[in-house]
Amino acid sequence: AAAEIGGVLGPLSLGILSDNERSFQSGLTMLSLVCIILFVLVFVLKHLLTAQQN
């Protein structure tokens, strides 16, 4: 289910931002920020899970 949401919202948001701003810079910046946030979230969740198991 999460892949379906990301598969739709990623290109849709990139298209909307690119159309409104007349460039891909804002859309690609938004996608980069989402990737960075998710990357950090993975490590935080991993740390919390390992701390909970000990």
pLDDT score, position 54: 73
pLDDT score, position 43: 96
pLDDT digits 0-9 by tens, 10-53:
889 999 998 999 999 988 898 899 899 999 999 999 999 999 88
The widest CA-to-CA distance across the chain, in whole angstroms, is: 51
pLDDT score, position 6: 80
E strands, the chain, where? none
pTM: 0.72
Describe the crossing of helices 25-53 and 2-21 by its angle, rounded to 10 degrees.
150
